């Protein structure tokens, strides 16, 4: 019976093996209801994804949340962002959208295809930031 309980605990415990303790602690504190699916090093920070799809978090090695990226429906873009996108890219149709939160700064990234895949980033007020 004890072996079954231990096995069940191992199978249902979130895996933090790839996350340093400071990163795992920050994630557990900021997202207590989510389970880490992956924690990988990406240049100078860790990229953490969850079993809940559509959300990823960049965390510094010291445990500071740098950015939260969340997939959103195109219809959920703020009106100023949707209008700015339509004005800047009148012939483009948005393919996907993400909300990126960096502290108090909130940005929206809209992916679209013209001659190739592009991503345009806007502030919540519709101000164009960049295109990749």
Residues 82 and 127 in one domain: yes
Q: Which of residues 23, 39, 66 is at a domain's end?
A: 66
pLDDT of residue 53: 85
Task: Please indicate, yes or no, if residue 25 is contained in any of the structural domains.
Answer: yes
pLDDT at 17: 57
Per the prediction, the chain carries an average pLDDT of: 86
Q: Are residues 22 and 60 in the same domain?
A: yes
Where in the sequence is the domain holding 52, given as residue range(s)? Answer: 15-66
Instruction: Kindly write down the DSSP assignment for every residue of 12-56, as one continuous string.
Output: HSPP-TTS-HHHHHHHHHH-TT--EEEEEEETTEEEEEESSTTEE
* 43 belongs to a structural domain: yes
Predicted local confidence at residue 43, as pLDDT: 87
Q: Are 116 and 81 in contact (CB under 8 A)?
A: no
CA distance 68 to 126: 19
Only one residue has tokens 């919540």, namely 124
Q: Is the pLDDT of residue 16 over 60?
A: no
Same domain, 82 and 31: no
Which of 1-15, 23-37, 76-90, 92-106 is predicted least confidently? 1-15
* Number of domains present in the structure of the chain: 2
């Amino acid at each position: 019976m004890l072996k079954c309980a231990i096995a069940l605990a191992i199978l249902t415990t979130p895996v933090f093996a790839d996350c340093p303790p400071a990163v795992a602690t920050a994630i557990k504190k900021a997202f207590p209801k989510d389970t880490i699916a992956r924690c990988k090093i990406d240049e100078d920070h860790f990229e953490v994804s969850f079993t809940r799809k559509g959300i990823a978090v960049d965390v510094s090695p010291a445990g500071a949340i740098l950015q939260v990226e969340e997939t959103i429906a195109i219809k959920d873009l703020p009106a100023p962002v949707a209008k700015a996108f339509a004005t800047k890219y009148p012939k483009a149709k948005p393919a996907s959208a993400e909300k990126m939160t960096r502290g108090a700064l909130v940005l929206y990234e809209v992916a679209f295809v013209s001659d190739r895949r592009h991503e345009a980033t806007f502030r919540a007020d519709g101000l164009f930031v960049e295109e990749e």
